[in-house]
Amino acid sequence: MEAIARDLKLSLDPVAFAKELGFNPDSWQAKVLMWFGNRILLNCSRQTGKSTTAAILALHKAIYKPDSLILLVSPSLRQSSELFRKVTDLLNRLTVRPRKVEDNRLSCTFENKSRIVSLPSSEATIRGFSGANLIIEDESSRVPDELYRAIRPMLAVSGGELILMSTPFGKRGHFFEEWDKGENWEKVKITAYECPRISEEFLEEERASLGDWWYRQEYECEFVEPVDSVFGYELVMGMLSRDVKPLFEEE
Ligand SMILES: Nc1ncnc2c1ncn2[C@@H]1O[C@H](COP(=O)(O)OP(=O)(O)OP(=O)(O)O)[C@@H](O)[C@H]1O
Ligand SMILES: [Mg+2]
């Protein structure tokens, strides 16, 4: 009876589930774990715990929502499989584990028919999947836009959830565009200063070693212009504005 009550609590409370896995979630992580919407953007500094949070969510859904399809996407198959490994490492922390009926380096299926699959980064090879309940795109700012466009329709019928998470990589690509102008997204920004596990001394050393441009991007979550960009994003967008009168009117 006690075991059933505990399991029920874990199924309803992903934060309690995270604690069961040995994590005491930071407040933003708890918010993401408890969030009920369908679209979330995590613009978070390096090492703040994006992948861990997403891996906990993936595992929670796989265990407590039978027949779920969970897809892990990233700029390369190696990176997707890294995230998948995070999920399986977490699974191994559970004292009572759900049984797997299929298990390999890139995917697994549980007895309740839920599947977690790491996808390659080629748009052509992922088209077979549909009806995803959760898609997690890791290192989103470096995922090709064609791949992003190919995964979105997989949510059409299922009404599933989509999580994009990354540090910025310039003012370009779908991660920036969704962050800048996307509607219907819950947007979460967490700089390195907000992470209790990253020390001030480490950040000072990083700023000195990486230089300002990389540092602002990696630790302060800023979408900075590529260093070699001749015209800035605002300047180009300003040139497209209808409010700006042309210098020379057409005859
Ligand atoms: N709430 C937490 N409590 C303790 N450790 C945590 C917590 N969240 C994450 N960590 C640890 O912090 C480290 C970084 O986590 P993770 O890899 O998830 O970060 P990330 O934001 O995805 O990093 P990167 O930008 O390098 O991909 C890992 O060792 C992870 O176990
Ligand atoms: Mg990560």
Give the residue, out of 43, 48, 52, with the most ligand 1 atoms within 8 A of its beta carbon, to mutate for a pocket test: 52
Parallel, antiparallel, or unpaired: how do β-strands 39-44 and 186-190 relate? parallel
Residue 191 CA to ligand 1 center (angstroms) comes to 13
Band (pLDDT 50/70/90 cuts) for residue 64 is very high
Give the residue whose CA is nearest to atom 7 of ligand 1. Answer: 49
Residues with CB under 6 A from ligand 1: 23-26, 29, 44, 46-52, 197
At 84, the amino acid letter reads: F
Q: Which ligand is nearest to the CA of 219?
A: 1
User: Is 249 domain-assigned?
Assistant: no
Separation of first and last alpha carbons in the chain: 84
CB 12 within 8 A of CB 34: no
Band (pLDDT 50/70/90 cuts) for residue 129 is confident
Residue 28 CA to ligand 2 center (angstroms) comes to 16
Q: How many other C-beta atoms are found inside a 10 Å radius of the C-beta of residue 174?
A: 20
Provide the token pair at 183.
């509607």
Q: What is the pTM of this model?
A: 0.90
User: Is 54 domain-assigned?
Assistant: yes
The count of domains in the chain is 1
What is the Cα–Cα distance from 234 to 238, expressed in whole angstroms? Answer: 6
What is the Cα–Cα distance from 208 to 212, expressed in whole angstroms? Answer: 8
Give the residue whose CA is nearest to atom 9 of ligand 1. Answer: 49
User: For residue 93, what is the domain's CATH number?
Assistant: 3.40.50.300
| Residues 19-59 pLDDT 10s | 999 999 999 999 999 999 999 999 999 999 999 999 999 99
Give the residue whose CA is nearest to atom 14 of ligand 1. Answer: 47
User: Is 244 domain-assigned?
Assistant: no
Range of the domain at 70: 2-239
What is the Cα–Cα distance from 37 to 182, expressed in whole angstroms? Answer: 15
User: Is 251 domain-assigned?
Assistant: no
Residue 51 CA to ligand 2 center (angstroms) comes to 4
User: Is 129 domain-assigned?
Assistant: yes
User: Is 246 domain-assigned?
Assistant: no
Please determine, for residue 228, whether its predicted confidence score (pLDDT) is greater than 70. Answer: no
Q: What is the reported pLDDT for 237?
A: 58
Q: How many other C-beta atoms are found inside a 10 Å radius of the C-beta of residue 227?
A: 9
User: Is 122 domain-assigned?
Assistant: yes
Give the residue whose CA is nearest to atom 12 of ligand 1. Answer: 49
Q: What is the number of the ligand 1 atom nearest to the C-alpha of 167?
A: 25
Give the residue whose CA is nearest to atom 16 of ligand 1. Answer: 49
What is the Cα–Cα distance from 230 to 65, expressed in whole angstroms? Answer: 50
Band (pLDDT 50/70/90 cuts) for residue 171 is very high
What is the Cα–Cα distance from 127 to 129, expressed in whole angstroms? Answer: 6
At 160, the amino acid letter reads: G
User: Is 250 domain-assigned?
Assistant: no
